[in-house]
């Protein structure tokens, strides 16, 4: 059974760093791109970036380029999303998602990680 299990909720202060994770199981991790999607409370879905776990080829959406870092660790079948300096506007639910192929639909979603940034 394919599963994407994300790390738990986080409460951080502005300026702090953070890494959240997405652990994949039930399939060959390097066979599918992984993406990250943001959802601000009460708002819609936004693509942040995608990564090929085989070679860590990463593509960011323009709005998120330079704001976050997406990475993957093949040995742990895990993808990560990292911030070096959080802002209050980063408060959101973050989903990892497995893509059928590079431009393909998502076929599996993680359960989401809620990040709250507040002083």
Q: Name the minimum Å distance from CB 104 to other proteins.
A: 7
Smaller CB distance to other proteins: residue 29 or 36?
36
| Cα–Cα distance for residue pair 2/90, rounded to 1 Å | 29
Smaller CB distance to other proteins: residue 13 or 97?
97
Classify each residue of 87-115 as buried b or exposed e, where b means 16 or more C-beta atoms within 10 Å of its C-beta. eeebbbbbbbbbbeeeeeeeebebeebbb
Q: Name the minimum Å distance from CB 42 to other proteins.
A: 11
Smaller CB distance to other proteins: residue 41 or 75?
41
How crowded is residue 59: how many other Cβ atoms within 10 Å of its Cβ? Answer: 14
Q: Name the minimum Å distance from CB 69 to other proteins.
A: 18
> Which residues make up the interface to other proteins (CB under 8 A)?
35, 37, 44-47, 50, 59, 61-62, 95, 100, 103-107, 109-112
Give the torsion sign (CA, 60, 97, 38, 47): positive
Smaller CB distance to other proteins: residue 8 or 62?
62
């Amino acid at each position: 059974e394919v599963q994407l299990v994300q790390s738990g909720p986080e409460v951080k202060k502005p300026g702090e760093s953070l890494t959240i994770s997405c652990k994949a199981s039930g399939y060959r991790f390097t066979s599918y791109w992984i993406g990250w999607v943001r959802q601000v409370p009460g708002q819609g879905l936004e693509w942040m970036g995608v990564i090929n776990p085989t070679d860590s080829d990463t593509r960011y959406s323009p709005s998120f380029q330079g704001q976050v870092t997406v990475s993957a660790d093949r040995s742990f079948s895990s993808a990560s999303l990292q911030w070096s300096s959080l802002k209050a506007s980063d408060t959101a639910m973050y989903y990892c998602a497995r893509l059928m192929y590079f431009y393909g639909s998502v076929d599996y979603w993680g359960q989401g990680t809620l990040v709250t940034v507040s002083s």
